[in-house]
Structure 1
């Protein structure tokens, strides 16, 4: 039977979140490619307005994913008592509970974006 220490469990969770954030990055890239296909078509002005809306949201989602990934790495360093090379006053990485809360918000916002995007896309593909 494998016994894990609390620190090992924290690292496993942080690694799981990093993988999830990387999956979001990949999905955002695919969504942007789908939008590019529509942007190159002769879509109506209304559709192009929606494309621009999603391009902006996906760009921001990618930025947030990059920030989350970086902060998860910094949190993992802090948990392992390694020196943390960067401190973000606006994005706390001090403790696991803070990162857990931020990850929950990240997940909810991404799911909402993905659902809205998927509702838009079937009409246009």
Structure 2
């Protein structure tokens, strides 16, 4: 089924994703600061191993967030270069469906990371 979708709706979705990615960036920064506090304490070797594990995961999460932010901006630019209305069958532009799929994976992986991190934090010394 073909549907006409105004470009503005696509931009709203992309802006929503950019905001979400920025929120993830801010939360990752806070989590890294909390880990830094543990790293400066006299935590056990086991806890320090977990701190290093989460530092690596948070670093990678930040990299992925940066990539997503860039790619969302590129998709928005591509949409801006298209006519006012895009006709599609749930794929409004070449990259939109890819970005949407990647955003879903990004969200799932971040939720899993956050749950693991929150489970770890009560183990603080």
Q: Could you say which TM-score interval applies, normalised by the shorter chain?
A: 0.7 to 0.9
**Which structure has the higher relative contact order (CA within 8 Å, separation 6+)?**
2
Give how far 1:42 is off: 0.3
Whose strand fraction is larger, Structure 1's or Structure 2's? 2
Report 1:76-95 matches (<5 A).
76-81=76-81, 94-95=94-95
Answer with 1 or 2: which has the greater Rg.
Answer: 2
- Structure 2: distance between partners of 1:52 and 1:58: 10
Q: Is this contact kept in 2: 1:78–1:94, CA < 8 A?
A: no
| Corresponding residue of 2:57 | 57
| Corresponding residue of 2:70 | 70
| TM-score when normalising by structure 2 | 0.85
Calculate the aligned-residue CA RMSD, in Å.
1.5
Report 1:110-125 matches (<5 A).
110-124=110-124
- Structure 2: distance between partners of 1:20 and 1:6: 22
> 1:17-62, CA deviations, whole angstroms, 9 ceiling, x for partnerless residues?
0000000000000000000000000000000000000000000000
Q: Which runs of 4+ in 1 moved over 2 A?
A: none
Q: Could you list the runs of 5+ residues in structure 2 that have no partner in the other structure?
A: 83-92
